[in-house]
C-alpha cells in the first residue's frame, strides 16, 4: 500500500532518518503543500520552528545532502500534481468544510493514491476526515 507522509516525516526521510513505522518496500508520496512548507522551513533558517530546527542542527555534510534532496525530491518520493487532485478536492469540499487547504489536499491525495497517511504531528480534523473517507491515519511519536 502507498504511504503518504507529511512534512515532518518527509524531513526525516531526506535526512536519512526514516521512521521505523514506514514500510521500506512500499511507495512514499507527499503533498505539494507539505513539500512547500518543508522547503520554507529549511530555506528560511532565521525562522525557528520544529521543521527548520531539524535542519539547522544537522552536521554540515548531512545537512547539505538533505538540502539537495529538497531542491529536487528523490525519485523514490512521489508528488501528485494539483492538476490531478483539484477536481477531487472540489468534490470533497462539500463533505469536509472545516479542513484547511493543506489538509484537504492531503485527504484528496490519500484517496487518489489509496494511501495510508503518516503524520509527524497530530491533526485531529485531518485524521477525522481520513476516517470518514475510510483511509488510515498513523500519528508517529518521534
Q: What is the pLDDT of residues 16-36, one digit of tens each?
A: 888 889 999 999 999 999 999
In Å, what is the CA distance from 2 to each residue of 88, 123, 132?
18, 20, 19
In Å, what is the CA distance from 104 to each residue of 79, 101, 139?
15, 5, 17
Q: What pLDDT was estimated at residue 25?
A: 92
Q: At what angle do helices 32-43 and 7-14 cross, to 10 degrees?
A: 60
Q: What pLDDT was estimated at residue 15?
A: 85
| DSSP class of 138 | E
**What is the Cα–Cα distance from 115 to 124, expressed in whole angstroms?**
18
What is the tally of structural domains in the chain? 1
Q: What is the Cβ-side half-sphere exposure of residue 131, based on CA atoms within 13 angstroms?
A: 7
For 89, the domain range is 2-139
Estimate to the nearest angstrom the gap between the alpha carbon of 85 and the chain centroid.
15
pTM score, whole prediction: 0.88
pLDDT tens-digit map of 39-97:
888 877 666 666 656 666 777 887 778 778 778 899 999 999 999 999 999 999 999 99
The domain spanning residue 58 has which CATH number? 3.40.50.1010
**Considering just the CA atoms, what is the radius of gyration of the chain in Å?**
15
Helix (H) or strand (E) holding 95: none
Amino acid at each position: 500500500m502507498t504511504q503518504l507522509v507529511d512534512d515532518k516525516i518527509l524531513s526525516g526521510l531526506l535526512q536519512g532518518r526514516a521512521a521505523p513505522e514506514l514500510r521500506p518496500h512500499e511507495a512514499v508520496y507527499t503533498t505539494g503543500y507539505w513539500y512547500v512548507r518543508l522547503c520554507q522551513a529549511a530555506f528560511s533558517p532565521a525562522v525557528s520552528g520544529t521543521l527548520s530546527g531539524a535542519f539547522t542542527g544537522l552536521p554540515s555534510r548531512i545537512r547539505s545532502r538533505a538540502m539537495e534532496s529538497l531542491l529536487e525530491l528523490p525519485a523514490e518520493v512521489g508528488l501528485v500534481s494539483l492538476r490531478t487532485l483539484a477536481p477531487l478536492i472540489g468534490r470533497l469540499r462539500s463533505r469536509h468544510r472545516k479542513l484547511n487547504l493543506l489538509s484537504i489536499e492531503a485527504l484528496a491525495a490519500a484517496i487518489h493514491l489509496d494511501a495510508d497517511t503518516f503524520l509527524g504531528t497530530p491533526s485531529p480534523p485531518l485524521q477525522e476526515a481520513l476516517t470518514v473517507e475510510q483511509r488510515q491515519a498513523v500519528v508517529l511519536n518521534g
